[in-house]
């Protein structure tokens, strides 16, 4: 199966000049896709990968950067066979980008961003409406500020982060964290009894603060489940 998949996997390079001006990435592609963004200040590249056996047409990928540095990537919904199950779309088309360090990354509408960096001082992340962001760092991200909305997800299990300021605005979003020195979380204080429950899973944390108070493993927080392995 894997051999057949690889045989049908094709790629092509796109014009990377818009990436040079990028400061922020906002992924809200009409057709959900995956972006692998690799930070490299010395070069810019854009490559689209897709499986020709399951893609109706060659994906028409639009890469643009606004005058204020917002990088957007879009694929038209009509270009693919994944409807009506859009959750499968993002595994069919992947855009690999090499470019400068970004101030912020956001994903919404079932899109996925993997942001890969050596080290970084500050980074802001926003996910919403089933959007997902995964962070990978060889070194450390000093300060991460993240906001999650509408059943979205953040994964930092492949990145060491010193400090995280995390705001979760609903009761269904999920966060996975490997190591963090200080985790400060703001979550809703009241939710419906049948909200389903989001989870913040932490492998190791020095300090955890929930809504301004020290985390207490004995407390049942109403809108999220805290899983802290070393508490």
pLDDT tens figures, 3-56: 545 677 889 999 999 999 999 999 999 888 999 999 999 999 999 998 777 666
Q: Which two tokens stand for residue 226?
A: 């805290």
**Residue 52 sits in the same domain as residue 16:** yes
**Residue 3 sits in the same domain as residue 110:** yes
Q: Which of 87, 116, 145 is a domain's end point?
A: 116
**Residue 107 sits in the same domain as residue 149:** no
**Residue 43 sits in the same domain as residue 84:** yes
- pLDDT computed for residue 153 by the predictor: 97
- Report in angstroms the alpha-carbon separations of 113 from 27, 140, 157, 218, 228: 8, 19, 14, 35, 25
Q: Which two tokens stand for residue 57?
A: 């047409």
- Pair 170, 148: CB distance under 8 Å: yes
**Residue 167 sits in the same domain as residue 224:** yes
**Residue 156 sits in the same domain as residue 122:** yes
Across the chain, the runs of DSSP E, i.e. the strands, are 9-13, 24-27, 34-39, 45-51, 61-65, 70-75, 93-99, 104-108, 112-117, 120-128, 132-149, 153-168, 174-186, 198-210, 213-214, 224-228
Strands 45-51 and 70-75: unpaired
Domain count along the chain: 2
**Residue 190 sits in the same domain as residue 92:** no
Q: What is the CATH number of the domain that holds 97?
A: 2.160.20.120
The tens digit of pLDDT for each residue in 184-226 reads 999 988 886 666 668 999 999 999 999 999 999 999 888 889 9
Q: Which of 73, 93, 116 is a domain's end point?
A: 116
- pLDDT computed for residue 191 by the predictor: 81
- Domain hosting residue 8, numbered range: 1-116
The tens digit of pLDDT for each residue in 61-108 reads 999 999 999 999 998 876 556 655 666 666 678 999 999 999 999 999
> For 147-152, what is the mean pLDDT?
94
**Residue 94 sits in the same domain as residue 199:** no
**Residue 24 sits in the same domain as residue 77:** yes
Phi, psi of 124 (to 5 degrees): -115, 135
Q: Which of 93, 116, 139 is a domain's end point?
A: 116
Share of the chain above pLDDT 90, in %: 70
- Pair 138, 156: CB distance under 8 Å: no
């Amino acid at each position: 199966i894997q051999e057949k998949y690889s045989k049908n996997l094709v790629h092509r390079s796109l014009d990377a000049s818009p990436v040079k001006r990028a400061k922020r990435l906002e992924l809200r592609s009409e057709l959900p896709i995956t972006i692998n963004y690799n930070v490299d200040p010395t070069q810019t590249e854009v490559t689209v990968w897709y499986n020709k056996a399951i893609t109706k047409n060659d994906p028409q990928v639009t890469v643009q950067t606004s005058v204020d540095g917002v990088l957007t990537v879009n694929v038209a919904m009509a270009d693919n066979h994944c409807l009506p199950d859009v959750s499968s779309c993002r595994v069919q088309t992947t855009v690999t980008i090499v470019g400068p360090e970004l101030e912020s990354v956001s994903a919404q509408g079932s899109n996925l961003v993997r942001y890969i960096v050596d080290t970084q001082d500050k980074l802001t992340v926003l996910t919403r409406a089933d959007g997902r962001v995964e962070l990978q760092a060889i070194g450390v991200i000093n300060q991460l500020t993240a906001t999650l909305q509408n059943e979205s997800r953040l994964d930092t299990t492949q990145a060491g982060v010193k400090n995280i300021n995390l705001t979760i605005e609903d009761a269904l979003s999920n966060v996975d964290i490997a190591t963090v020195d200080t985790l400060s979380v703001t979550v809703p204080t009241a939710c419906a009894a049948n909200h389903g429950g989001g989870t913040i899973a932490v492998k190791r944390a020095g300090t955890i603060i929930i809504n301004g108070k020290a985390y207490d493993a004995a407390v049942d927080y109403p809108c999220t489940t805290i899983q802290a392995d070393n508490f």
